[in-house]
């Protein structure tokens, strides 16, 4: 893969204590995600996919090792600095959409841009462009509860990329959808990733979708391994 490394995990460890047991979910793993590539993270439930994505997305800190985003080591940064990177450089999509229920689709996509300091008109134009790209501009003025599951996820994906992040992290983004809808949503996400050239790491149980990505990795004994 020729593109430059956008996300790098270096000897990352994450352990949890459950009762008297110490679980090593990540035990010193390395992983690199390059510009322009889409990588599937395929592993059974409980293997540590969400844990890895949360660390990569700076939502949590590793117990040891380093997360490097576009050459910048994030471990020693303050919470405020990490929040700024999360807002500007990382897009995160969850299995459940996590859209704000009292706001419309277009407003949900505008929100991260407004927080970043963009003017209302600029944010709205970008949000409408993304809705159009996801082929749901007709739903712009609808609230999340008025959207289908597939539409909700498309809005969530549009919101995740609204600030043109460097890296898109998605945690089973189609896990809650029927296979046909999952295919459509994935297609829209793929088009967006390909067009913007960002780097994407997508946890999925769907092998058909995993096959469409550039490469597949799994978690084995706390380490990322090629599939
Ligand atoms: P996956 O996303 O692959 O299903 P997770 O990353 O959610 O897996 O979880 C991996 C393991 O770590 C599971 O056994 C889970 O119970 C455990 N785990 C995750 N988060 C915590 C936590 N905050 N405290 C204790 N155990 C946790
Ligand atoms: Mg998970």
Nearest-angstrom CA–CA distance, 175 and 177: 6
Evaluate if residue 137 carries a pLDDT over 80: yes
Residue 2's pLDDT band (cuts 50, 70, 90): low
Query: Which pLDDT score, from 0 to 100, does residue 144 have?
Result: 97
The residues placing their C-beta within 5 Å of ligand 2, an ion, are 49-50
Residue 105 Cα distances to 55, 58, 137, 226, angstroms: 28, 26, 9, 37
**Could you tell me if the CB of 46 is within 6 A of ligand 1?**
yes
Ligand nearest to the CA of 25: 1
**Could you tell me if the CB of 85 is within 6 A of ligand 1?**
no
Q: Which of 169, 223, 189 is nearest to 47 (CA)?
A: 223
* pLDDT per position as a tens digit, 69-79: 999 999 999 99
What is the number of the ligand 1 atom nearest to the C-alpha of 47? 3
Nearest-angstrom CA–CA distance, 110 and 159: 7
Number of H helices, E strands in the chain: 7, 10
**Could you tell me if the CB of 141 is within 6 A of ligand 1?**
no
pTM score of the predicted model: 0.96
* pLDDT per position as a tens digit, 85-131: 999 999 999 999 899 999 999 999 999 999 999 999 999 999 999 99
Evaluate if residue 3 carries a pLDDT over 90: no
CB atoms within 10 A of CB 180: 9
What is the number of the ligand 1 atom nearest to the C-alpha of 51? 6
Q: What is the dihedral of CA 206, 210, 212, 216, to 10 degrees?
A: -170
**From ligand 2's centre to the CA of 40, what distance in Å?**
13
């Amino acid at each position: 893969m020729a593109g430059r490394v956008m996300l790098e995990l270096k000897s990352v460890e994450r352990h949890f204590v459950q009762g008297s047991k110490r679980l090593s979910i990540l035990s010193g793993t390395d992983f690199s995600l390059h510009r322009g590539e889409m990588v599937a993270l395929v592993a059974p439930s409980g293997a540590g996919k969400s844990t890895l994505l949360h660390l990569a997305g700076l939502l949590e800190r590793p117990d040891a090792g380093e997360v490097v985003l576009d050459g910048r080591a994030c471990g020693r940064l303050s919470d405020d600095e990490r929040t700024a990177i999360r807002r500007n450089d990382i897009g995160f999509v969850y299995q459940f959409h996590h859209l704000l229920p009292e706001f419309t689709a277009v407003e949900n996509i505008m929100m991260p841009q407004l927080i970043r300091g963009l003017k209302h008109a600029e944010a709205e134009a970008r949000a409408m462009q993304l809705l159009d790209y996801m082929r749901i501009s007709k739903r712009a003025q609808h609230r999340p509860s008025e959207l289908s599951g597939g539409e909700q996820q498309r809005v969530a994906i549009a919101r995740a990329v609204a600030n043109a992040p460097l890296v898109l992290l998605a945690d089973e983004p189609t896990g809650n959808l029927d296979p046909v809808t999952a295919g459509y949503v994935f297609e829209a996400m793929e088009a967006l990733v390909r067009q913007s050239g960002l780097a994407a790491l997508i946890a999925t149980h769907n092998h058909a979708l995993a096959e469409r990505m550039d490469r597949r990795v799994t978690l084995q004994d706390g380490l990322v391994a090629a599939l």
